[in-house]
Amino acid sequence: MLTLHARLQEADKMQVLEFDTVIIGSGLAGLAASYNAANFGSVAIITKSQLDTSNSYYAQGGIAAAIDKTDSPELHLRDTMVTGRGLCDRDAVEILVNEGRERVLELIDLGMPFDKENGEFVLGLEGGHNKRRILHSGGDATGKELTCFQLELVKQKENIQAFEYVAALRLLQNENCIQGVQAYDFKSKKNIVFKAKAVILATGGLSRIFERSTNPHTATGDGVALAYAAGAQIADLEFIQFHPSALYVPGKNAYLISEAVRGEGAWILNHEGERFMKDIHPLAELAPRDVVAYSIFRQIQKSGKKNIFLSLKHLDEQQIKQRFKNIDSHLKEYGFDMTKDLLPISPAAHYMVGGVHTNLNAETNISGLFACGEVASTGVMGANRLASNSLLECLVFGKRASEKAATQKKPAGELILPEPVHVDTANEQLFLKYQNEMSVLMSENLGIVRNKTTLQKALDRCHEIETSFAPDANEYNLLKIRNTATLCKLIAQSALVREESRGGHIREDFQKENPDFKVHILQQKGCNYQFENVRD
């Protein structure tokens, strides 16, 4: 702990930089927002890791857009709304499917190399889509190709400055109006205060707070924690999407086997070798993700084992290995032949469906604070995200956020420098210990199926952890412990309030959908939770 004198000295050394817009996060939403924001003024893009480390980068499936002659934004809207189980806001989905198509066509015009065959785009199929409408690139490397393409566009803009290995710590504000961001630079080991007219959160999701997750280590919910601490409204956090087909190898990461593989015909088999999904949903293995993940969960529970299987043995080896080169080579590293072996799978936390509550222009309830991409709850995902809609959301609402941010006036009032934050490496082990404990707690009590007892257990323990660290801690690891505990609590609280089963939220003690809960659940620091009507 630094003495007061040392802290004041540190504050003196704080670097203060000024930009029109500061964007936190360098996934597709952050890159799209930066690229557009640069049309209006100076931009800082800050990331706690490298520019090319993001969840978007690892997206395998692709980006959904109604570009086929037999498809239309209306059909895309219908699939999105059905999959969202009554919780999608129609106006937001209309924007997503219409502007999404425009954004994708713009990227194609700029030269984005989506995969083609005989001059035509090859369109993939994923769960919940009644049409082939998933554009992909590099076969199963769409996220990498798309983020690298967008990053190149960003690098061409001279008024964008990138800050790598700089972690956002606190949002600075005066009377509900954003003034900037306090951040820690891991290279110089100094605090930086970024003054700005607008701050756009594009920090991605939080699935890494679960023990089994398909996400990179950076997906720890930083944006939600920052926004909540600043007084922003957080919506629908109970909806965590579990991806049905993550590789299950004990002691190894839950490697994602794209739903696009099932789109090309892969079967899900139980331990008796039965294709049980055929009896559960007309779309069988391509039913919406909540249905497939829950059905797999039940089969695993029934078998007493830890996994079931994905089988591609009946498919054309050459075609499959050509289309899914990355997955094939990863599976080889794990010792599996993609088309010859039964692949052990089990669901894993994949996507935060709720997030920082925004309006249609990606604005939060704090003036000058915006959110886009997975960190945001724009109303398009409902209770269950339609596969491959997320990269589309990044493009659409990244652009909208930057355009609205450009209209923001310079904040009134003097910016008061915050207390500096330091890193004490002695606390790293403590953070890992708590992170590990909470990830197990979340997976065991807030997994695919929940009930009042499991939710209360997770809530109580996270409350205990949260309150054992001072709210004004100025050490990075202690801040992270508190933030993780707060996020887990917010998920558990929202899940306790929603006394029904809907989409990705399944309650053993309330097994039916309840029309009274056709509402968004909002949480805000210092306030009771609120319900907001769905705009359908």
Q: State the minimum distance, in angstroms, from the CB of residue 439 to ligand SIN.
A: 20
Which residue's CB atom is positioned nearest to ligand SIN? Answer: 61
Is residue 390 close enough to count as binding ligand SIN by CB under 6 A? yes
Task: Establish if 487 lies at the interface with ligand SIN (CB under 6 A).
Answer: no
**61 contacts ligand SIN (rule: CB under 6 A):** yes
Copy the structure tokens of residue 440.
């197990």
Is residue 207 a contact point for ligand SIN (CB under 6 A)?
no
Hey, CA dihedral for 202, 463, 468, 209, is it positive or negative? negative
Cβ of residue 118: shortest distance to ligand SIN, in angstroms? 24
Residue among 388 and 408 whose Cβ is closer to ligand SIN? 388
**Residue whose tokens read 């003024």:** 41
What is the C-alpha to C-alpha distance for residues 440 and 218, in angstroms, rounded to an integer? 18
Q: Among candidates 201, 228, 218, which has minimal Cα distance to 33?
A: 201
CB of 387 to ligand SIN, least distance (A): 4
Contact assessment for residue 419 and residue 474, using Cβ atoms and an 8 Å cutoff? yes
| Residue 59 vs 478, nearer CB to ligand SIN | 59
Q: Is 289 among the catalytic positions?
A: yes
When asked if residue 63 is in the footprint of ligand SIN (CB under 6 A), the reply is no
User: Is the CB of 348 or the CB of 492 nearer to ligand SIN?
Assistant: 348
3-state helix, strand, coil in the chain (%, to 5): 40, 20, 40
Q: Using the rule CB under 6 A, is 290 a contact of ligand SIN?
A: no
- H helix intervals, 64-162: 73-83, 90-110, 142-155
Q: Give, in order, the Cα–Cα distances in Å from 402 to each of 156, 286, 370.
A: 17, 35, 9
The β-bridge relationship of strands 506-507 and 63-64 is unpaired
Nearer to ligand SIN, 145 or 259 (CB): 259
Nearer to ligand SIN, 180 or 204 (CB): 204
Residue 422: DSSP 8-state: B
483 touches ligand SIN (CB under 6 A):
no
With binding defined as CB under 6 A, does residue 388 bind ligand SIN?
A: yes
Q: Which of 60, 179, 378, 494 binds ligand SIN (CB under 6 A)?
A: 60
Asked if 258 touches ligand SIN (CB under 6 A), the answer is yes
CB of 380 to ligand SIN, least distance (A): 13
Coil, strand or helix at 23: strand
CA separation for the pair 61, 324 (Å, rounded): 10
Q: Which is nearer to ligand SIN, 65 or 387 (CB)?
A: 387
Q: How far apart are CA 192 and CA 183, in angstroms?
A: 5
Of 145, 259, 393, 475, which lies in the binding site for ligand SIN, with binding defined by CB under 6 A? 259
Tally of helices (H runs) and strands (E runs) in the chain: 14, 23
Compute the distance between CA of residue 441 and CA of residue 213 in angstroms, rounded to an integer: 14
How far, in Å, CA of 197 to CA of 172, rounded? Answer: 11
The one segment of 258-266, 267-275, 319-327, 433-441 that binds ligand SIN by CB under 6 A? 258-266
b/e per residue 324-348 (b: at least 16 CB within 10 A):
beebbebbeeeebebbebbbbbbbb
Nearest to 386 by CA among 133, 165, 205, 201: 133
Binding region for ligand SIN (CB under 6 A) out of 80-88, 385-393, 412-420, 442-450: 385-393
Q: Which of 260, 266, 348, 521 binds ligand SIN (CB under 6 A)?
A: 260
Q: Does 246 bind ligand SIN (CB under 6 A)?
A: no
Q: Nearest-CA neighbor of 492 among 456, 438, 449?
A: 456
* Window of 19-27, 36-44, 59-67, 297-305 that interacts with ligand SIN by CB under 6 A: 59-67
Cβ-based nearer residue to ligand SIN, 344 or 368? 344
**387 is a contact residue toward ligand SIN (CB under 6 A):** yes
User: Which is catalytic among the residues 103, 208, 289, 323?
Assistant: 289
Interacting residues toward ligand SIN by CB under 6 A: 59-61, 258-260, 387-388, 390
User: What residues are annotated to the active site?
Assistant: 289
